[in-house]
Amino acid sequence: MENNHTQRLWKDLDKPVLLIYLFLVIAGWFNIYSVVYDPETTEGFQLAARYGKQLLFIGFAFLLALFVLVADLRVFTQFAYLYYGIAILLLLAVLVIGTKISGARSWIKLGPISLQPSEFAKVATCLAFAKYVSHPALNMKKVKNQIAAALWFLVPMMLILLQPDAGSALVFLSFVLVLYREGMTGKVLWAGLIAIILFIAALLVNNYIILAAIALVIGFLIFRNKKTFKNIALGVLFFALCSGYVVGVDYAFHKLSPHQQQRINVVLGLDPDIKGAGYNVNQSKIAIGSGGFAGKGYLQGTQTKFNFVPEQSTDFIFCTIGEEWGWVGCTVFLAAYLWLIVRLVKMAERQRQPYYRVYGYGVACIFFLHLFVNVGMTIGLLPVIGIPLPFFSYGGSSLWSFTLLLFVFLKMDARQ
Amino acid sequence: MKRYTLNKSAVLIAIFLAVGLIYWIRLFQLQIIDDYASEAQNNTIRNKVQYPGRGLILDRNGEIIVYNEPVYDLMVIPGQVSVDETDWNLLADLLELDSAGVRERYAKARAYSRYAQSVFERQISKEVYGRLQEYLYLFPGFDVQSRTLRRYPKPIAAHVLGDVGEVSEEEIKRNPHYQPGDYIGKSGLEKFYEEELRGKKGVKVVMVDVRNREKGSYKDGALDSLPIPGEKLYTTLDAGLQEYAEWLMQGKRGSIVAVEPSTGEVLALVSAPGYDPNLMVGRVRSRNYNMLLTDPQKPLFNRALMAYYPPGSIFKLPQALIGLQEGVIRAGTGFPCDKSLVGCHNHADALSVAEGVRNSCNPYFYQVFRRVIMQGKDPNRFIDSRLGMEQWNKYIKSFGFGTRLDIDLSDAKAGYIPDAAYFDRYYGKNQWAFSTIYSLSIGQGEVSLIPLQMVNLAAIMANRGYYITPHLVRAIGEDQRPPEMDLSPRVPPIDRKHYDPVVEGMYGAVHLPGGTARRAYIDSIVVCGKTGTSQNPHGKDHAVFIGFAPKDNPQIAVSVFLENSGFGGTWAAPTASLLIEKYLTGKVQRKWLEEQVHDFTIFTYDEKGRIIGPPAH
């Protein structure tokens, strides 16, 4: 009976996702080993070094995955709101009793282990959000319901911003994409895109030129469409909104703390300060760039070896891939990741239970946002925002939460 | 309906793939199109910090009082040194060290970090650097970093200027501008104006090969930035006057402060004994610092800003003003010199405020203060005294006493002025009256001032009714912009007319028979002054003098405080008069007085440099 159950589970499990998970985790470990590796040291394998600890984290992650697969799925789905409540309490607690590490109060120290509640909040929010959104009586076409659903991820996001940990908070915006899938109009995504473009423009270009450009575009649109009173009024309103936003961005930018301003300036190319804020990005670009087509070979990276790139084993781990494995390695890496994400979306679509579908989308979008922000930062397309690269960055909390996220969904999928 | 949802899923997948594609292309650009590869393959890029010179410090006449001298730090990256191939003995010879010291330094740097640069030997002189430079190519992993040290052409104003030292770990944590090995102002003006003086670091990005030889500028210097030197500091000090004041204070303990009353600009600020600021520079700094720290005369202690002294009789000036303003006395009010109230020296009874000030009559000011404190507002003398005390406290604090004067040196202390609550705590509520606190009338008891507050009182008298916060910097930088300070006049609530009789008394103290400050008299200049003798539990009385000159349109206000030097008229008054003469006429005619004052000492050094004399408290 037991055996039979296990066999069925194995048969229903999505093997491609499992394989890619194993591939990413193991490749991630070898990368961390390479970062820590000192060519001159004669000491053998050390459990206390980062690669040793990461091995322990991975071992525990596998146990966790096994537990998820074996346990009753209801352990997770039934108590989703409870977990969410606990996560919120932990996020509140960390603001008070948390340990400050590099400026943010985001860790709770329990003896030798440090835990990052925001990582577990990700899992809990995904479960609870999916449960709420998939409620049969809820019409997600209604804006009111969409706003109510958004509160589920906006609340933990705000709490994390208070730590302040902008990177972890940003991840929660991935649920906007899920909302879009579940009924929100695509106009919100367009508005977001316009907001980002205007944001960059507001900092790069003279504000009056932007306002003039907006006015031109709106004038053109009104000219092309029917010149009804309603259209003109809408145009004027839109113009007022845009100009308010542009002026607001300019104002808010100057209210930011100097180091945040600098990080944004570095990305926009306004501040080439390669000794200060631009240092990480410049070194990171050199490391990746010097990898060339095929890379320097495993353990052969000089830029990353000589500790030029800071946060090498955590946020900037992608540099090592770029330097040692080159463009070929990066292509394999990107392909594997995108394949995983797209496969998760496809799997989500095939779920019969709405709950499972929404959850699956949540997992896919969270992975996507991590990839988007982390890699974008190391290749100098996005500002420096501390956020781990799933399965690659050193650290237990993030590895466990990603494992948990993924395997709960695998279990859901297997239950079909 | 079904199609619609399918569309949305396709849109999301399209977004994911689009981002992937953009990143893929960007990676192609970085890794294949751009030439990072050729640059980083055999070369390593190194950022060489270009340190800016610290801002110069000038006196009020444009004379340079602090400048920079170039020195060199030898840096090392242990990971690039091949220990076996390095000629350690040659390196030791070049640096004038022994070979064990060289290896010890290497081990220390190695323990700190293999890859980060650390200082191997700091502040190498120009001469040693000249020889080392020729051989540097033999020592891969070593590199020279040019730095500057502070130098002082005249050994003056150490307490004001302060010193510069290497940043501590605390300071690095507090302010990310600093990196290990950077210098920072540790005290005095160097600390207060650190942000203006430090300048902006530049960077030179160079490529080095595996043997750490420079292979030229990276990207043709596109990423380089020049260091921006620190800004000049135009101080209010008069270097000549400061030097003269320090010369006069040799062998004495105490303080001299001189200000220009109309502007609050500090002309000289001396704490004695002092030290040569050149002692606190470079490699000798820590040894000398410890030596000065353990000196029983406490030369590091800035008495002008930090020492709490009972003001003695100079306190009678504000007491007279408060009495006049409260209307409890008039300019013509006289009191007999009744020695049963409080001790006094022998003189004729004072028949007016001016005579009271001139003779510094203790019973006279006992009466004035009694009338201020006990105005009969309440039949109960305890309650009445408490009311009077509260009123008096407001007045006296308006002279800048009991609160910190906002001078641009962070050392300045507040002094102490008691209030009713203090006496309540000390004696119990309604347990004290005028009779308990009368010694305040003559500046003894629970009151203490710092010398800066004393000269500020002289400035108020000179200005007849206001002061401007004393300050040491007039302008900053090439554009000579004024420092960010509130330099508006501060006005105690005393009517202008009440100053005249009190200033008349200060004139009389110097010029008329019976005056206590006759030794401050100068033929050519009308000096107004007030002496004080400050009783203290540490031996002989302290001598005080404050004054200003000329009487009309005053140019200088001075306070002289001499620890354990007896009556204020004896040494403090002539010291001040010499300073006034020096400042207003440019040179001192009265050589005999100068000799006398200079030769008066309360401690001396024996031939081995040890101190003979009573220790400081």
Report whether pLDDT(A58) > 90: yes
Tell me the mean pLDDT in the region A196-224: 81
CB-based contact A288 B27, cutoff 8 Å = yes
Q: In a 10 Å sphere around its CB, with 0-12 CB exposed, 13-18 middle and 19+ buried, how is residue B323 labelled?
A: buried
- Name, in order, each residue with C-beta under 8 angstroms of B257's C-beta and a sequence gap of 6 or more: B266, B268, B269, B270, B304, B451, B452, B454, B455, B470, B558, B559
Helices and strands (DSSP H and E) totals, chain A: 18, 3
Q: How confident is the model at residue A377 (pLDDT cuts 50, 70, 90)?
A: confident
Q: Which residue did the predictor score with more confidence, B89 or B609?
A: B89
Distance (Å) from the C-alpha of residue B13 to the closest C-alpha of chain A?
A: 6
**A275 closest CB neighbour out of B8, B22, B47:** B47
Confidence at residue A38, expressed as pLDDT on a 0 to 100 scale: 62
Query: Does A345 contact B41 at a Cβ distance shorter than 8 Å?
Result: no
Note whether B228 and B244 are same-domain residues: no
Looking at residue A308, its pLDDT comes to: 55
Backbone angles phi, psi at B130, to 5 degrees: -55, -45
Mutation target for A interface from B6, B7, B9, B16: give the one with most A CBs within 10 A: B16
The reported pLDDT for the residue numbered A87 is 93
CA angle (A157 as vertex; A156, A158 as ends), nearest 5: 90
Average pLDDT rounded to a whole number, residues B13-19: 92
Q: What is the DSSP string of A301-338?
A: -HHHHTT-STTTTTTTTHHHHHHHHHHHHHHHHHHHHH
Residue B396 lies in a domain: yes
Token output for A263: 């990080």
Q: Which residue has the tokens 């002309």?
A: B267
Looking at B220, B235, B250, the residue that finishes a domain is B235
**With an 8 Å Cβ cutoff, is A300 touching chain B?**
no
pLDDT, residue B215, reads: 63
Q: What is the pLDDT of residues B444-476, one digit of tens each?
A: 989 999 999 999 999 999 999 999 999 999 999
Q: Is the pTM of this model over 0.90?
A: no
Per-residue model confidence (pLDDT) at position A278: 60
Q: Would you state the pLDDT for residue B601?
A: 86
Is pLDDT above 90 for B603? no
Q: From CA A339, how far away is CA A16, in angstroms rounded?
A: 10
Residue B557 has pLDDT above 80, yes or no: yes
Question: Binning pLDDT at 50, 70 and 90, where does residue A178 land?
Answer: very high
In A349-368, the residues whose Cβ lies within 8 Å of chain B are 349, 361, 365, 368
**CB contact A330 to B (< 8 Å):** yes
Instruction: Determine the Cα–Cα distance for residues B324 and B495; give it in Å rounded to an integer.
Output: 9
Q: Would you say residue B33 lies in a domain?
A: no
Strands B44-50 and B214-217: unpaired
Binary contact (A292, B37; C-beta < 8 A): yes
Residue B312 sits in the same domain as residue B166: no
DSSP letter at B269 equals: E
- Is residue B103 a part of any domain in this protein? yes
Confidence of residue B1 (pLDDT cuts 50, 70, 90): very low
pLDDT digits (tens, 9 = 90+) for B389-408: 999 999 999 999 999 999 99
- The nearest alpha carbon in chain A to B2 belongs to A349
**pLDDT at position A344:** 95
Is B12 in Cβ contact with A180 (below 8 Å)?
yes
List CB contacts (< 8 A) between B176 and chain A.
259
A285 interaction partners in chain B (CB closer than 8 Å): 30, 36
pLDDT of the residue at B578: 95
E strands, B24-63, in order: 44-50, 57-58
Residues of A with Cβ-Cβ distance to B27 under 8 angstroms = 288, 322, 327, 330-331, 334, 379
Mean pLDDT over the full length of chain B: 88
Q: Quick one: B227 and B345 in the same domain? A: no
- Tell me, yes or no, whether B513 and B392 share the same domain: yes
Choose the final residue of a domain: B213, B235, B257. Answer: B235
Q: Nearest C-alpha of chain B: how many angstroms from A291?
A: 6
Contact flag B32-A327 (C-beta cutoff 8 Å) = yes
Beta-strand ranges (E) seen in B375-469 are none
CB-CB under 8 Å, B28 with A288:
no
> Are residue B104 and residue B249 in the same domain, yes or no?
no
pLDDT in tens, B166-199: 888 888 778 777 877 788 999 999 999 999 999 8
- Cβ of B127: how many Cβ atoms within 10 Å? 9
Degrees, nearest 5: CA angle A415-B4-B8? 70
Q: Which of B11, B15, B26 has its CB closest to that of A379?
A: B26
| Nearest alpha-carbon partner for A119 in A412, A330, A397 | A397
* Chain A residues within an 8 Å CB radius of B20: 334, 337-338
Residues 148-207 of A with CB under 8 A from B: 177, 180-181, 186
**Chain A residues within an 8 Å CB radius of B41:** 290
Q: Are residues B186 and B326 in the same domain?
A: no
| Inter-residue contact B472 to B260 (CB < 8 Å) | no
d(CA B298, CA B301): 6
Of B64 and B45, the structure prediction assigns the larger pLDDT to B64
pLDDT value, residue A129: 94
Q: Where is A108: in which H helix or E strand?
A: strand A104-110
What average pLDDT does this structure show over B67-93?
83
Q: Are residues B204 and B246 in the same domain?
A: no
Q: Domain range for residue B311? A: 239-277+302-612
- B24 to chain A: nearest residue by CA? A331
SS3 B207: strand
Report DSSP letters for A212-277, one per residue: HHHHHHHHHHHHHS---HHHHHHHHHHHHHHHHHHHHHHHHHHHS-HHHHHHHHHHHTS---TTTT
Q: Which residue of B has its CA nearest to A323?
A: B31
The candidate with the shortest Cα–Cα distance to A312, out of B419, B607, B115, is B115
B572-606: buried (b, 16+ CB within 10 Å) or exposed (e) per residue? bbbbbbbbbbbbeeeebeeeebbeebbebebbeee
Judged against a pLDDT cut of 90, whether residue A387 lies above it is answered with: no
Q: What is the arithmetic mean of pLDDT over B80-90?
A: 79
pLDDT of residue B177: 78
Running DSSP on this structure, what letter comes out for residue B448? B
What residues contact B109, with CB distance under 8 A and at least 6 apart?
Answer: B76, B78, B118, B119, B120
How far is A306 from chain B, CA to nearest CA, in Å? 6
Residue of B17, B31, B47 with shortest CB distance to A291: B31
Dmax (CA) of chain A: 80
Q: Which of B215, B235, B255 is the last residue of a domain?
A: B235
Domain of residue B106, CATH code? 3.90.1310.10
For residue B37, what is the nearest residue in chain A, using CA coordinates? A290
Closest residue on chain B to A290 (Cα): B37
Q: Do A345 and B12 touch (CB under 8 A)?
A: yes
Does residue B61 lie within any of the structural domains?
A: yes
Determine whether the interchain pair A180/B30 forms a contact, defined as Cβ–Cβ distance below 8 Å: no
Contact check, Cβ <8 Å, A307/B115: yes
Give the model's confidence band at A137: pLDDT under 50 very low, under 70 low, under 90 confident, else very high. Answer: confident
Of A176, A177, A182, A178, the residue nearest A142 (C-alpha): A182
User: ω into residue A164 within 30 of 0, thus cis?
Assistant: yes
Does B427 share its domain with B479?
Answer: yes
With CB atoms and an 8 Å threshold, state whether A289 touches B201.
no
AA identity, residue B602: I
Residue A3: which pLDDT band, with cuts at 50, 70 and 90?
low
pLDDT of res. B45: 67
Question: Does B223 share its domain with B327?
Answer: no
Residue of B nearest to A308 (CA): B115
CB of A285 within 8 Å of a chain B CB? The answer is yes
B69 forms beta bridges with B149
A376/B11 CB distance under 8 A: no
Smallest CA–CA separation between B110 and chain A, in Å? Answer: 13
Task: Give the model's pLDDT for residue B2.
Answer: 45
Within 8 A of B5 by CB-CB distance, chain A residues are 181
**Percent of chain A at pLDDT exceeding 70:** 88
Contacts of B204 in chain A (CB under 8 A): none
pLDDT one-digit tens code per residue, B191-228:
999 999 998 888 887 766 545 556 667 767 777 888 89
* Whole-number pLDDT of residue B35: 67
Does residue B505 have a pLDDT over 90? Answer: yes
What is the rounded CA–CA span in Å between residue A293 and residue B292?
Answer: 64
Q: What pLDDT, on the 0 to 100 scale, is given for residue A1?
A: 47
Query: How far is it, in rounded angstroms, from Cα B91 to Cα B120?
Result: 11
* CA-based nearest distance A233→chain B, Å: 31
Smallest CA-to-CA distance from B520 within B573, B450, B484, B591 is with B573
Are B413 and B394 part of one and the same domain?
yes
d(CA B164, CA B281): 7
Find, in chain A, the residue whose alpha carbon is nearest to that of B116: A307
CB pairs under 8 A between A and B: 108
Per-residue confidence at B145, pLDDT binned at 50, 70, 90? Answer: confident
Helix (H, G, I), strand (E, B) or coil at B474: strand
Q: Are strands B233-235 and B57-58 parallel, antiparallel or unpaired?
A: parallel
Q: Is the pLDDT of residue A116 over 60?
A: yes
Q: How far apart are CA B227 and CA B203, in angstroms?
A: 7
**What whole-number distance in Å separates Cα of residue A180 and Cα of residue A172?**
14
Q: Are residues B401 and B547 in the same domain?
A: yes
Residues 63-102 of A with CB under 8 A from B: none
Give start and end residues of each alpha helix (H) in A98-133.
117-133
Chain A contact set for B79 (CB, 8 A): 306
Instruction: Report the alpha-carbon distance of residue B56 to residue B65 in Å, rounded.
Output: 8
Q: How far is A319 from chain B (nearest CA, A)?
A: 11
Total domain count for chain B?
A: 2
List strand residue ranges (DSSP E) for B167-303, in order. Answer: 183-185, 202-208, 214-217, 233-235, 254-260, 265-272
Q: State residue B41 phi and psi, 5-degree precision.
A: -60, -55
In this structure, is residue B184 part of a structural domain? yes
Q: Is residue B188 part of a domain?
A: yes
CB distance from A15 to chain B under 8 Å? Answer: no
Same domain, B410 and B471: yes
Chain B positions touching chain A (beta carbons under 8 Å):
5-6, 8-9, 11-13, 15-17, 19-20, 22-24, 26-28, 30-32, 34, 36-37, 39-41, 44-45, 47, 49, 79, 114-116, 176, 201, 203, 205, 222-223
